[in-house]
Structure 1
Amino acid sequence: MANPDRLTALDSTFLHLEDHSTAHMHVASVMVFEGVAPTLDELVEHVLGRLHLVPRYRQRLAHVPLGQGRPVWTDDPHFNPYYHIRHSALPKPADDTALKQLAGRLFSQRLDRSKPLWEIWLVQAMAGERFALVAKTHHALVDGISGVDITTVLFDTAREPVATPAPHSQWSAKPLPGPAKLLGEALIERSTVPAEMLRGGRALLRAPRRALGQIKDGLRNIGATTLAGINAPAPPSPFNVEIGPHRRYTFLDADLASLKAIKNSLGGTLNDAVLATVCLSLGRYLRKHGHNTDGLVLKAMVPVSVRTKSQRGALGNQVAAMWAPLPVGVENPADCLRTIASAMEDLKKSGQAVGAQVLTNLAGFAPPTILSQAARLQARQPFFNLVVTNVPGPQFPLYLLGRRLEVLYPVVPLAQRQALGIAVMSYDGHLGFGLLGDYDALPDLEEIALDLKWAISALSRTAGVRPAARRPAHKAARGSSNGTRAAKRSAAGS
C-alpha cells in the first residue's frame, strides 16, 4: 500500500527542477489589508491556533537512502513558528513600489528544505494605513489552485474572528523514521507496482525514446494532436533565456466585472479573456522592443485543476496542464480573443488536460533518477514559453484578525529558461495580476504590467465596455471605519 505521506511524481519533479539550477519552485502571494497591522506575536498566535487544520505545515522532507524512492513528509521535531512567520518594514514612502521590491527580494530566496517549506512575512506600516502579508509555499507542498483552500484557513468571512475547533490533542512530533525504514518502505511500495509497469520502467532505462513511443501508442485514445501539443518545443522568444537566482515582481489590479463584460460581448470564457489580455500585452511589448511578431504564436502552459470534490483541502498537487496558443501577432483585440477562445474550446474537446494528467500519473512509476532527468530535459528544451495561471477565488470579503483583505496578487514560479510567469486570481470583484520575472532578463518587467493595463483598455473599447465604478483597491482606511477601529483596539491591547 502506498505511503500517503510520500510525494507524488509531480511533487518530486518540482524538487528536481530546483536541483543544479537557479529555479525557485515556490508559489506565493502578496496580500494587502486595510487598517493597522497586528503585532508579530498576534499573527503567530493566530496561525498556531489554526495550524492543526493543515498538519503538513509542521512537516519536512525525509529522503530515501540511495535515491530508491521519492521523499516522504515527516514531522519536524524542531518546528519553530517564529522561523516561518517573520516581519519586515518598508522604507518610506512605504508604497506599492517598495512592496514590489521587497516581494522580489523574498521571491529570490529559496526555501530551506531542512524545514517545513513555507514562510509568511508580515509587512507593517504601509502608506494609507495598510499592511501586507507575503506568503511563500513550495510547489511540492501545495499547488496554486488548491492553495486557495489552504490559505483561507487563516481568514474569516466576518470581521469578528470565528472560534476554531481545538485539535483533539496537543501536537507533538512523531519519531523520525530511520534510513532503514525509509528504504524498506520504498522498496516494498515498488514491489507492489504491476509487472507491466516494472517492464515499462526497465524499458525506459534501456531506451527512453522507444519507451516514450510505447507510452504514446498506449495513449492513442487521447489523441495525436494532444500529444503533439504536449511534446512540441516552444518557439524561441526573449522570455526563454538562461535565468539567474534573482527576481523582480510587480502586480496589477483589474476589475473582474469588466473582464466578464468583455467576454460576454466578444465571446469566450473569462479565462479566454485573461489569456487574450496576456497575449495582446506580450505582442505589444515584443513589437516595441523590435521583435517581429508576424505569425508568431507563443505557448502558454495553463494549469488545470483535476482535484475532485472529495480531494478539496487535501495537500499535494492534483493538476494537469493545457498548452494554450497565444497568437501575439494578432493585433486586433476582438480577433485575438476569438482566436484564443476557439483554440481553447478545441483543446478541451481534444482532452489535452486529461492527456497531461495521464502522462503525469505514469511518471509516478518512474524511479527518482528518471524524474530528475525528465526535469533537466524540460530545462534544456522548454515546451512552453511561459506559465499563465488563472485561479478563481472567493467573491466576498475575507478578514484576518478583523482586518479586511483588500487585494490579493498571486505568484507562479519560474522554471529554467522561463524568464516570465503571470499568475491571476479573482477575489471580491478584483482580478489581481502578479508578474514574476528574472531580474536580469526582464529589467523592464513593469512595462509588461503597463501593457496589460493597456490590453484591458483595448479589449474594453472594442467590446463597448465602460470602466466599472468600483472602490479603489488601495484606498486609505478611514478612522471612522469599524475595521480600522477594531484593528487599532487590537493593536493597542497587545
Structure 2
Amino acid sequence: MSERLRARDLAFLAGEDLTTPRHTTTVDILDPGSSGFDHDRFVALVRDRIAFVPRFRQRVQGVPGGLANPVWVDDVGFDLAYHVRRSALPRPGTRDQLRELVARIVSRPLDRSRPLWEIYFVEGLEGGQVAVLLKCHQALVDGIDTVDLGQVLLDGLPGSTGPVGAPDDADTWRPRRRSPVGLLTEALRDTVTDPQTLIGTVRSTSGRVVLAAEGAGRRTRGVAAALTGRRPVRPTVLQGPLSQQRRVVTLDTRLSDYRLVRDAHGGTVNDVILASIAGGLRAWLMTRGEALPSTRHVRAVVPVSVIDEELEATSLGSQMSVHEVDLPIGEVSPVVRLHQVSYSFAAHHATGKSVAADRLAGIAGFAPTTFHAVGARVAAQEVRRGFALCVTNAPGPQSPVYAAGARLVASYPVPPLLPEHRLAVAVTSYDGGVTYGITADRDAIPDADVLGSCVLEALQELVDASGDARPRAPRGRTGRTAPTGRKPTTAEPED
C-alpha cells in the first residue's frame, strides 16, 4: 500500500504560492583541505547517502477523482543530476556574493512534478572553500518518516566516505511504476477498509477550502477598500503582503559569549539568543524612526523539543511544540530584557517536559537541519495565533563534522517566510560557534543587513554588561528573582 500524504502535509502544498514558497534551506560552508573534495565526490556522496532517505526519490502523485489524498510514488524518471546542481561565484567569492545567490535560489518554488528538493554545490568561495545549499519542501521533511538529506551527508569522521551499515539496496534501487488505475483501485480499497483514509481525505478537503476562503477573503477586502475609498489595515514592518523575492543575512558569533552572559545573569543560552534578537529588533526599529514605548513587544513563537505522549514523536527522540514569548523591544536595559525572556520560559521548564540542548546536540548525525525543518512546520501550523515572528534555535554538535573528508566550517539555516510574515530568524550552534540565518522580504525590508548588525551589537551589550556581574549560584539554587518578583521553580537545562 502506498503512503498517503497526511492532511498537514497537503496543507503546505495547498498554501504555497509564488510569494510564499514552502521550503526550508540550509547553507553549509565546507573546507576541502587536502581531502580532494570536489563536485564529483559530492555527487557520489549524495548518490550513496540518498538510500537513507528514500522519500527523496519520490514525488507527489494525485489520485484520479480526488477520492483520497495524494500518495508518495517513486519517480521513475529520477535524475540525480537535476537535483544536484553545480554553481560558482567569481573568484574569490565573498560571503556577500554568496548571500545574494542564496536569496535568489530560495525565492524560487520547487518543481511539483519532481521530488521536492534541490541541492547546489557552489564553488569559488574565498579561501578555497565551497558552499552546499540544500532546500527541501516542508511537505517532504516531517522528522518522523523522513529526515533532512543534509543530516545524512555529514559525519564525525574526517576520512569517512560513507556511513556505516548502508542499506542493502543502496546501489540497487529500482523505481516502482504506478498506473492511474492502480492508484484509483488502491484509493477505493483504502477508503472502505481504513477509516483513517476517509478521515484524512475529509480533513484535507476542508483544509483546502479554508485556505481558498482565506485567500479569497484577503482579495475581497482589498477590492472593497478600493471601491469604498477606505484604507485597508495598515501593514506593520514585520507583517503585510509579500513580494516574490527574498533577502538573506547571515551572522557569526561565539558560543562562549552566550555562556558568559548565561553564567553571569542566569537563564539559558536560548534565552540569551532571544534577548539578543529582541535588542537587535529594538535598535533596528529605532533606525527606522519607530516609536518604542516601554511596554512595546513583538510576539514570537519558538519551536521547542518536549516529551509529551500526546504529540507525535520525531526522529530527534522527542516531540515539537511552539512556545510563545513576547520579545520586550521597548525595554532599554539589555539585562532586564534577558530576565524578561528567561521568565517567559520558566513555566515551560517547570512542566518537566522540556528537552535539554545537550541531549539534542548529542544525537548521532547532524540533527539541526531536521530540527529547523520540523520547527518551521510546527510554526506554520500555528500561524493563526497572530504572532509576528518565528525563531528556531537548533543546538548542534560541538566537535567538527565532515562531508567526504571536507570539514564543515559553518552552517547557516535559512528559514521560510510564513504568509504575510516579512521576517524569520533561525539559529544553529556548532563547534563553538553560533550562526544566524535571517530571511526577509526583499521589498518590505531592504535594510535587513542593518538588522543583522543590530543583533550583533545587542549581543555585545549583554557581554559588556556581564563583565562585572557576580557569578551565579550553582544551577538549580540560584535564588535569582524574576522580573515579576517570583522565583523560577526548577533548574534550567545546560543550554
User: Do Structure 1 and Structure 2 share a fold, with TM-score over 0.5?
Assistant: yes
Equivalent residue letter for 2:137: H
Matches within 5 A, 1:83-98: 83-98=82-97
**Counterpart in the other structure of 2:325:** 324
What CA distance in whole angstroms lies between the structure 1 residues aligned with 2:304 and 2:144?
8
For 1:66-125, what per-residue CA distance to the aligned partner results, in whole angstroms no more than 9, with x for missing partners? 445433221111111111100111134411010000000010111111111111100112
Matches within 5 A, 1:380-459: 383-459=386-462
How many residues in Structure 1 have an aligned counterpart in Structure 2? 409
CA 1:163/1:298 → structure 2, altered by over 3 Å: closer, same or farther? closer
What CA distance in whole angstroms lies between the structure 2 residues aligned with 1:301 and 1:66?
38
Following superposition, which runs of at least 4 residues in structure 1 exceed 6 angstroms of deviation?
Answer: 144-149, 307-310, 350-353
**Counterpart in the other structure of 1:17:** 15
CA 1:189/1:145 → structure 2, altered by over 3 Å: closer, same or farther? closer
Is 1:412–1:422's contact at 8 Å kept on the other side of the alignment? yes
What CA distance in whole angstroms lies between the structure 2 residues aligned with 1:123 and 1:398?
19
CA 1:189/1:154 → structure 2, altered by over 3 Å: closer, same or farther? farther
Equivalent residue letter for 1:427: Y
**Counterpart in the other structure of 2:59:** 60
What CA distance in whole angstroms lies between the structure 2 residues aligned with 1:193 and 1:17?
21
Is 2:280–2:454's contact at 8 Å kept on the other side of the alignment? yes
**Greater relative contact order: 1 or 2 (C-alpha under 8 angstroms, separation 6 or more)?**
1
Equivalent residue letter for 1:181: T
Structure with bigger helix share is: 1
Deviation at 1:423, TM superposition (A): 0.4
What CA distance in whole angstroms lies between the structure 2 residues aligned with 1:267 and 1:166?
44
Equivalent residue letter for 2:402: Y
CA 1:24/1:84 → structure 2, altered by over 3 Å: closer, same or farther? same
Equivalent residue letter for 1:341: S
Gaps of 5+ in 1: 209-234, 354-374, 467-494
Deviation at 1:8, TM superposition (A): 3.1
Identity of aligned residues (%): 33
**Counterpart in the other structure of 1:259:** 258
The secondary structure found in structure 1 opposite 2:440 is: strand
Matches within 5 A, 1:210-249: 237-249=236-248
CA 1:272/1:314 → structure 2, altered by over 3 Å: closer, same or farther? closer
What CA distance in whole angstroms lies between the structure 2 residues aligned with 1:350 and 1:399?
37
Is 1:143–1:319's contact at 8 Å kept on the other side of the alignment? no
What CA distance in whole angstroms lies between the structure 1 residues aligned with 2:416 and 2:278?
19
CA 1:338/1:173 → structure 2, altered by over 3 Å: closer, same or farther? same
* Matching of residue 277 in structure 1 with residue 279 in structure 2: no
Deviation at 1:167, TM superposition (A): 3.1
**Counterpart in the other structure of 1:212:** none
Deviation at 1:411, TM superposition (A): 1.3
What CA distance in whole angstroms lies between the structure 1 residues aligned with 2:324 and 2:443?
27
For 1:190-213, what per-residue CA distance to the aligned partner results, in whole angstroms no more than 9, with x for missing partners? 63589xx89x97xx99xx9xxxxx
Matches within 5 A, 1:246-395: 246-294=245-293, 295-305=295-305, 313=315, 319-347=320-348, 349=350, 378=383, 383-395=386-398
CA 1:4/1:288 → structure 2, altered by over 3 Å: closer, same or farther? farther
Is 1:149–1:313's contact at 8 Å kept on the other side of the alignment? no
Is 2:141–2:148's contact at 8 Å kept on the other side of the alignment? no
Equivalent residue letter for 1:14: F
What CA distance in whole angstroms lies between the structure 1 residues aligned with 2:256 and 2:193?
50
CA 1:66/1:408 → structure 2, altered by over 3 Å: closer, same or farther? same
What CA distance in whole angstroms lies between the structure 1 residues aligned with 2:195 and 2:329?
49
The secondary structure found in structure 2 opposite 1:115 is: coil
Is 1:6–1:73's contact at 8 Å kept on the other side of the alignment? yes
Is 2:92–2:124's contact at 8 Å kept on the other side of the alignment? no
For 1:127-185, what per-residue CA distance to the aligned partner results, in whole angstroms no more than 9, with x for missing partners? 11211111111111115899887523111212111543343231011222534135325
What CA distance in whole angstroms lies between the structure 1 residues aligned with 2:72 and 2:427?
29
Is 2:161–2:405's contact at 8 Å kept on the other side of the alignment? no
Is 1:149–1:312's contact at 8 Å kept on the other side of the alignment? no
Equivalent residue letter for 1:262: V
What CA distance in whole angstroms lies between the structure 2 residues aligned with 1:291 and 1:248?
22
CA 1:402/1:110 → structure 2, altered by over 3 Å: closer, same or farther? same
